[in-house]
Amino acid sequence: MKSPEYITLDANEAAARIAYLTNEVIAIYPITPASQMGEWADEWAAAGKPNLWGTVPQVVEMQSEGGAAGAIHGALQAGSLATTFTASQGLLLMIPNMYKIAGELTPVVFHIAARAIAAQGLSIFGDHQDVMAARQTGWAVLASASVQEAQDFAAIAHAATLQARVPFIHFFDGFRTSHEINKIALLDEDDLRAMLDEAGIARHRAHGLSPEHPVIRGTAQNPDVYFQGRETVNPYYAAVPGIVQGAMDRFAALTGRQYHLYEYYGAPDAEHVVIIMASGGEAVHETVDYLNAHGAKLGVLKVRLFRPFDCAGMIAALPQSVRKIAVLDRTKEPGSAGEPLYQDVLTALMENWTGVMPRVVGGRYGLASKDFTPAMVKAVYDNLDLDQPKNHFTIGINDDVGHTSLPFDRDFSVEPETVVRALFYGLGADGTVGANKNSIKIIGENTPNYAQGYFVYDSKKSGSMTTSHLRFGRDPIRSNYLITKANFVACHQPGFLERFDILADAVEGGVFLLNTHVPADRVWDSLPRNTQEHIVNKHLHLYIIDAYKVAKEAGMGGRINTVMQVCFFAISGVLPRDEAINEIKDSIIKTYGKKGEEIVEKNLQAVDQTLGNLYEVAVPTAISSKVELLSPVSAGAPDFVRGVLGEMIAGRGDLLPVSLMPADGTYPVGTTQYEKRNLAQEIPVWDPNVCIQCGKCAMVCPHAVIRIKAYEPELLTGAPETFKSMDAKDTDWAGLKYTIQVAPEDCTGCALCVDVCPAKNKSAANQKAINMRPQPPLREQECENWDFFLDIPELDRRRIKTSSIRQQQVQQPLFEFSGACAGCGETPYLKLITQLFGDRTVVANATGCSSIYGGNLPTTPWASNDEGRGPAWANSLFEDNAEFGLGIRVALDKQNEIARELLQKLAGEIGGEFAESILHAVQRDEAGIHEQRERVALLKQRLAELSSVGRNGASDAKRLLDLADTLVKRDVWIVGGDGWAYDIGFGGLDHVFASGRNVNILVMDTEVYSNTGGQASKSTPRAAIAKFAAGGKRGSKKDLGMIAMSYGGVYVAHVAMGAKDEQTLRAFLEAEAYDGPSLIIAYSHCIAHGINMGTAMRNQKAAVDSGQWLLYRYHPEHAARGEHSLTLDSRAPKLPLNEYLRMENRFRMLEMSKPEVARELFAQAQEDVRMQWALYEYLASRSVNGSEVKS
């Protein structure tokens, strides 16, 4: 047996490597937390990396997980070795094919990063709900508990399936294992090859469909034989446990790592045993060690093979001494007799146990990556100590509704002192996580020590806090839960100290490293009281560095990663200081060498300059600070926001009891306004002397922090001294005052507004009507101004001409302060919908970026106006959003129909003329809608009187009262990204086009799956590099607009706000006004394009100027009138396409990585542009009767 190579990696990479090496066809589709497995496969294939047999696997991206399963089914039927990766809803979409694949006895392994299922809310985090939803498909289920196992079991599963002909789900816990970096022994290719059964491969090949030996597979079977056919497979399933154990034994012979299907660990004479599957078993294992060392006699049974469930094997693994068993399930099946593992254990015991039957209780833990700690494990064992242990319990939460939860002592810890435990609080943008991953690599791969890293991210995309949990030690690290006893805490952003209890998890005598610009002699006074208390009471050692200064001097900008990494090594003593610094330098050269020597030089310079700037600060004994922790929400927040959402913001969401959670997942709107994130170092400041009141700054603001109001001059009474106003320039508003105000604490500082401002100061052209200025000195004053501004009443919507941007932009946005990336290209479009139609809109939002920044807790951006009206928002799934929206439309139409029927029926009681006025109301504009609202208000008053008991028609009146609001115009907006519209949701979208129903569809086209990290979609343009298109996208972009136009009855607009905002506005108005399906495809610049987000509207313009993105509107009513229905709103391409492509990293990367391919694809892309223009120009020049239009 060779001694293995040790490397550090996460389970996604470990499993993907084995899958890649052992397969020929790989179908992929992005879904968190499994996306990385597909990304690895695609990158390796793009780099020409061969599999075990020297050939590069075919990696094919599909339009959905359902598609991936279908493609794999096909590949398997053709006799190839094939695999895929998925999680959560993705696995659910594969289920139909999984039944088929199993029914046909086909060897295959799907690798699953197990994840929660969307129910009352979506969660991207890990549990076993997805795997459990597929347990009935006839697939073997093999569970990995760690990164090492994820690699090893991937190999064992591939080996076993070839032998057994039963397909395998190989799963590990999403995030906890999929994203945990750990040091593992690498399985070398020879050992992997030795594991695989060549005869099994040959049999699989021979089983493949071939015209040389044709067969029919997939017959339709009748009542006479289907049943018998279904029972044919039993012997295959019966053989699986033996085959898997055989594979495990072979694996042990090759590698020395012995696994068992049901692995018992603990006291041989244990009376109390926990049965558990996957990563949770590691925490139990560790706790058993600790408690047994302290005199207990406990055991844990780790279930590796869950399907087929080998009852006898499991029972055999249990010690005969066992008297009580707690079965822990990481899933929830409401209404069941118990969760699946619990039920299986009970069945196994009933069928196989001899002697006194142990008492068995079941419990749920760890849903959606809820941390599962030794403290919780101890509580589970403590429960078994009771005479009547609680059954169907939960652990890890406070269930004050169903009273299922077990109490536990949060302070209980089993972490050995020999392990270095470090916590790092950083910003996403400062490189903290990257540096920590690098530190793990250095220690894990260059020293005999073991290393582990796990990273917790924020729910917001911009300005987010990251927490890195790192452990280093002499022995393999099983502690797969968050660190709560840290002997090293680093705070990379001093601002966090005021917002979070950063040192709560520091241990006595630990080290606190703070990045601050405050010098050593003044730093103590700058710390909040809470921080000082921790430092003094726990006798912490305080170190400081001005990392931003060092990084800046080294030319690294805001990336303080290298500086803080050096500090960590210098202080922590994990490695001798000089050795550590040499390792960091080597690592910099290895990591950045290929990217350019200047990048290496800067990092090396940062290393060299760090130690001279690192100081230990003598800690006073007295606590002197008057600075208290900030409240997580602003003053005036409603109780629910304060008591529930605020606790989540403060990082105390784990402590919230069940009773405070809405039972059906319904949350109040408009809650982002209470979370003052103060992200911007600079905010825009308005200069009325230069302003031309065009409204563009407010229109492009992705975060709705620039607001405009036009108002009566007397409302300025009592205005703060620094509040700015000017006369409204628009002649319609003569006599009104005009103010542009910024929300200083909600701005992200993206500066898009400044870039689009067309007004320049006549004396200094670098100054505009809106300019970025440092936020801190302005914060107090502008907060006061903002509050005053909010109190100024909105202008009557009937006085606003919506077709003019300068007027339209005074409409109140009802989508504000979202957690989207700073400078997001999608949100300005959503905000525009809410300004124009928000008070009458229901939104169906496809899963993706927009559902995340739109609906991710704690706080959400969809808001309501002063009258309490605003968009009602819901997210169903990724794949069904068009259908979901259509259903809403059909329901609203039906409700309106019922209301009209009832109104006609009740006309006698409420007045015929009045009823007629409601029934025939014209609601084309704000005035019409306003009047109808007034009529409906009156109607409701009458109905309330009529519905009182005993009156004629009371029941009808009551029914109409419930539906009366639907007599006012209702809009349905179906919104989502290109991943939904072009790929996974296209079938439904296409059906909605054909439905003729009055829905408005907004596709925010970023040309990649942005939310999952930039995977290619069918919208991705040719020559772009994206994940899943690592070698550059070879095909051209799908023309969704043309497909929609082919129906004739769909309004279609292709817009780009940054290129022509008037056209965008016009398209939104026309789409909403059109009584039928409308589709707006909106160019949405994105962080995944690799661009400067602050100037991204220029990219939109360049896309249009180059002809890459056309602006047009297709109006079916024009066609009906015989006029030309397609209007081209952009001019003939004038910018060479290359110039646009070179503005964006997604294209530039191809030039840098594959110049030959770039030359070819850029040229083809230019040709695409030419042909696209020729086609659209031709179509736009024709009327529907074929004649050329004279324009």
Of 1, 765, 949, 1132, the residue at the interface with other proteins (CB under 8 A) is: 765
383 vs 748 by CB, closer to other proteins: 748
Distance CA 739, CA 720 (A): 13
Put the strands of the sheet holding 465-473 in their side by side order: 6-10, 181-185, 450-456, 465-473, 420-427, 486-491, 506-515, 541-545, 615-617
Task: Give the binding range for other proteins (CB under 8 A) out of 522-530, 565-573, 939-947, 1140-1148.
Answer: 1140-1148
Task: Give the binding range for other proteins (CB under 8 A) out of 29-37, 291-299, 725-733, 1174-1182.
Answer: 29-37
Based on the shown chain and the rule CB under 8 A, indicate whether residue 495 belongs to the binding site for other proteins: no
**Active-site residue (options: 22, 39, 97, 115):** 115
179 vs 364 by CB, closer to other proteins: 179
Distance CA 53, CA 50 (A): 7
CA atoms within 13 A on the CB side of 494: 17
Compute φ and ψ for 60, nearest 5 degrees. -125, 125
Distance CA 340, CA 754 (A): 57
**Active-site residue (options: 8, 12, 22, 32):** 32
Contact 126, 175 (CB under 8 A): yes
* Residue positions counted in the chain: 1191
HEC per residue, 135-199: CCCCCEEEECCCHHHHHHHHHHHHHHHHHHCCCEEEEEECCCCCCCEEEEECCCHHHHHHHCCHH
Based on the shown chain and the rule CB under 8 A, indicate whether residue 1152 belongs to the binding site for other proteins: yes
Based on the shown chain and the rule CB under 8 A, indicate whether residue 458 belongs to the binding site for other proteins: yes
Give least dist CB 211 to other proteins, A. Answer: 38
Whether 391 is catalytic = no
Based on the shown chain and the rule CB under 8 A, indicate whether residue 1012 belongs to the binding site for other proteins: yes
Distance CA 140, CA 305 (A): 8
Distance CA 779, CA 775 (A): 6
Whether 1011 is catalytic = yes
For 918, residues 6+ apart whose C-beta sits below 8 A from its C-beta are 903, 932, 935, 936, 939, 967
For 671, residues 6+ apart whose C-beta sits below 8 A from its C-beta are 641, 645, 858, 859, 860
17 vs 737 by CB, closer to other proteins: 17
Helix, strand, or coil (residue 393): strand
Task: Give the binding range for other proteins (CB under 8 A) out of 539-547, 1008-1016, 1123-1131, 1161-1169.
Answer: 1008-1016
H/E segment holding residue 938: helix 926-946
Based on the shown chain and the rule CB under 8 A, indicate whether residue 51 belongs to the binding site for other proteins: no
159 vs 427 by CB, closer to other proteins: 427
What are the DSSP calls for 958-984, one per residue? HHHHHHGGGGS--EEEEEEEHIIIIII
Distance CA 1181, CA 1191 (A): 8
Give least dist CB 179 to other proteins, A. Answer: 8
Contact 715, 793 (CB under 8 A): yes
Based on the shown chain and the rule CB under 8 A, indicate whether residue 1014 belongs to the binding site for other proteins: yes
HEC per residue, 704-754: CCEEEEEECHHHHCCCCCCCCCEECCCHHHCCCEEEEEECCCCCCCCCHHH
CA angle 1079, 90, 221 (to 5 degrees): 105
* Binding letters toward other proteins, positions 412-451, x by CB under 8 A: ---------------xxx-xxxx-----------------
Contact 791, 718 (CB under 8 A): no
Task: Give the binding range for other proteins (CB under 8 A) out of 134-142, 215-223, 700-708, 1007-1015.
Answer: 1007-1015
Whether 65 is catalytic = yes
Task: Give the binding range for other proteins (CB under 8 A) out of 42-50, 443-451, 504-512, 936-944.
Answer: 42-50
Rg (CA), the chain: 32
530 vs 678 by CB, closer to other proteins: 678
33 vs 299 by CB, closer to other proteins: 33
Based on the shown chain and the rule CB under 8 A, indicate whether residue 455 belongs to the binding site for other proteins: yes
Give least dist CB 1185 to other proteins, A. Answer: 41
Contact 1048, 1125 (CB under 8 A): no
The identity of residue 1084, as a single letter, is S
Give least dist CB 301 to other proteins, A. Answer: 32
Of 16, 22, 42, 1141, the residue at the interface with other proteins (CB under 8 A) is: 42
For 781, residues 6+ apart whose C-beta sits below 8 A from its C-beta are 720, 722
Give least dist CB 1014 to other proteins, A. Answer: 4
Give least dist CB 378 to other proteins, A. Answer: 29
CA angle 281, 287, 289 (to 5 degrees): 105
Tell me the number of residues near other proteins by CB under 8 A: 59
* Binding letters toward other proteins, positions 1020-1039, x by CB under 8 A: -----xxx--x---------
Q: Which of residues 172-191 bind other proteins (CB under 8 A)?
A: 175
Query: CA 649 → CA 495, 675, 820, distances in Å?
Result: 15, 8, 16
Distance CA 62, CA 984 (A): 9
Task: Give the binding range for other proteins (CB under 8 A) out of 83-91, 277-285, 654-662, 1019-1027.
Answer: 1019-1027
Based on the shown chain and the rule CB under 8 A, indicate whether residue 366 belongs to the binding site for other proteins: no
Of 890, 1149, 1157, 1184, the residue at the interface with other proteins (CB under 8 A) is: 1149
Give least dist CB 564 to other proteins, A. Answer: 14
How far is the first Cα of the chain from the last one, in angstroms, to the nearest whole number? 81
Task: Give the binding range for other proteins (CB under 8 A) out of 31-39, 135-143, 279-287, 482-490.
Answer: 31-39
For 998, residues 6+ apart whose C-beta sits below 8 A from its C-beta are 889, 893, 972, 1074, 1075, 1076, 1077
Of 1010, 1036, 1064, 1095, the residue at the interface with other proteins (CB under 8 A) is: 1010
Give least dist CB 652 to other proteins, A. Answer: 19
430 vs 839 by CB, closer to other proteins: 430
Based on the shown chain and the rule CB under 8 A, indicate whether residue 1088 belongs to the binding site for other proteins: yes
* Binding letters toward other proteins, positions 527-566, x by CB under 8 A: ------------------------------x-x-------
Contact 328, 380 (CB under 8 A): yes
- Both tokens of 315, joined, read 């029972």
1092 vs 1183 by CB, closer to other proteins: 1092
**Active-site residue (options: 1011, 1064, 1095, 1127):** 1011
Whether 115 is catalytic = yes
Of 592, 640, 914, 1047, the residue at the interface with other proteins (CB under 8 A) is: 592
CB atoms within 10 A of CB 1051: 27
Based on the shown chain and the rule CB under 8 A, indicate whether residue 598 belongs to the binding site for other proteins: yes
Based on the shown chain and the rule CB under 8 A, indicate whether residue 1146 belongs to the binding site for other proteins: yes
How do strand 420-427 and strand 486-491 relate by DSSP bridges? parallel
431 vs 1107 by CB, closer to other proteins: 431
Helix, strand, or coil (residue 73): helix
Based on the shown chain and the rule CB under 8 A, indicate whether residue 687 belongs to the binding site for other proteins: no
Give least dist CB 716 to other proteins, A. Answer: 32
**Active-site residue (options: 65, 282, 879, 926):** 65
H/E segment holding residue 7: strand 6-10
Which are the catalytic amino acids?
A: 32, 65, 115, 1011
Footprint of other proteins (CB under 8 A): 32-33, 35-36, 39, 42-43, 46-47, 124, 175, 427-429, 431-434, 455, 457-458, 460-461, 464, 466, 557, 559, 592, 594-596, 598-599, 760, 765, 821, 852, 1010-1014, 1025-1027, 1030, 1087-1088, 1090-1091, 1145-1146, 1148-1149, 1151-1155
